[in-house]
Amino acid sequence: YQVDYGLNELVEQECESIKNHKGLEFRELLSYVKKP
């Protein structure tokens, strides 16, 4: 159980960082598009 819990934590952290990274890319893309 402890190992599974640790693995689950790691996976959630990875998902969060991926989501944050995609959000960052999206914001950069938006700011790039907004520039004339």
> For position 6, what pLDDT does the model report?
81
∠ CA 4-18-1, rounded to 5° = 5
State pLDDT tens for residues 12-29: 999 898 888 888 888 888
Domain residue extents for the chain: 1-36
The percent of residues in the chain predicted with pLDDT above 70, rounded, is 86
Residue 3 has pLDDT above 70, yes or no: no
